[in-house]
Structure 1
Amino acid sequence: MNTPFSLPWETCASSIQSLAEHEVFVFGSNATGFHGAGSAGQAMRGDARNTWRTDAAFLAAKDAPAHSPLRVGHWAVFGQARGPMQGHSGKSYAVQTIVRPGQRRSLPLGEIGSQLVTLLDFVRRRPHLTFLVTPLGEGSAGYTRAEMEATWQAALGGQPLPTNMRFIQIGHT
């Protein structure tokens, strides 16, 4: 009998406000790098709530010219959506899960899965780092936990999860 695949989710009581030197925050992003809410908002402004419209630092980043230091958030850079990004307080890795903010289910699961393959390779090549992976593709992107776990399973291609990945969610199971 096959056991259904599920990721080893850990629940954190509160949002993550800082990263240890060896930790990398992995979050879902959109093609424009508009990191307003959810795990992208957490990476950009330290707040996952959808309150970016009243966040003075976020609005300054949004209106700043390219390459301005104002665009550098906690662990993300406004306007950059893919790959490892250096922020002034730590490191992050973005996986594009939607095309534009508000466009649910706009990026096909196959494209997200290809990015997960790349992420898994990146993680395996850096065993000295711990990757804190948020619920990619869920929330604003509109995919279910079951759909995303099937996408992760396909990306793994029968290999085990790297031991330096922690799957975290804030305040719910």
Structure 2
Amino acid sequence: MSTTFTKFHEDGSIPAASEVFVFGSNLAGRHGAGAAHTAKQLFGAIYGQGAGRMGMSYGIPTKGRRLEVLPLKLIRQHVDGFLGYARLNPELSFFVTRIGCGRAGYDDAQIAPLFSNAPSNCSFAHQWRRFITPAGREAQATRGTTP
């Protein structure tokens, strides 16, 4: 099932107080840099917890316990877990950062499509629009740049 996304935000911006901040994490739960640090400082991410809901944040692991980059297959499993959580909680709004596209080193074209069937209560960075909206995917295919 594909969803038409109407909510996008500026990369690096801060969500409204009512939105859950979704960030790329590591399985060790060390939230020391980037969006993970922001999640710890502002949204209740718990040091030592690497995945799931923590306060007004939700961690999606992109790195392992020893901070090694996880393969896309494992990241997809964690993303699917998050998407299930988002579907089960339609009363919540989720502000999804560009997980995996910073310190984990993946490209937007590799990570964004993992969210292509996200429910409408998720907001994404504008950079992902071309990879996760039907119109964006169609434009990419026309240019021959489908991820």
Which category of TM-score, normalised to the shorter sequence, fits these structures? 0.7 to 0.9
More helix by share: 2
Deviation at 1:115, TM superposition (A): 1.0
CA RMSD, 1 decimal: 2.5
Structure 2: gaps of 5 or more residues:
127-147
* Alignment-derived partner of residue 162 in structure 1: 119
- For these two proteins, the number of residue pairs brought into alignment is 122
Structure 1: gaps of 5 or more residues:
1-5, 47-73
Q: Percent identity?
A: 38
In the TM superposition, 1:46-57 aligns within 5 A as 46=42
Deviation digits for residues 72-123 of structure 1 (CA, Å, limit 9, x no counterpart): xx4201111111112xxxx1110000125764xx201011101111111110
Contact 1:7 1:149 in 2 (8 A): no
In the TM superposition, 1:1-173 aligns within 5 A as 9-11=8-10, 15-16=13-14, 19-20=17-18, 23-46=19-42, 74-86=43-55, 91-100=56-65, 103=68, 106-153=69-116, 156=117, 161-168=118-125
Q: Secondary structure at the match of 1:93?
A: strand
* Alignment-derived partner of residue 71 in structure 1: none
TM-score by length of 1: 0.62
Q: Secondary structure at the match of 2:10?
A: strand
In the alignment, the residues of structure 2 paired with residue 150 and residue 18 of structure 1 have an alpha-carbon distance, to the nearest angstrom, of 25
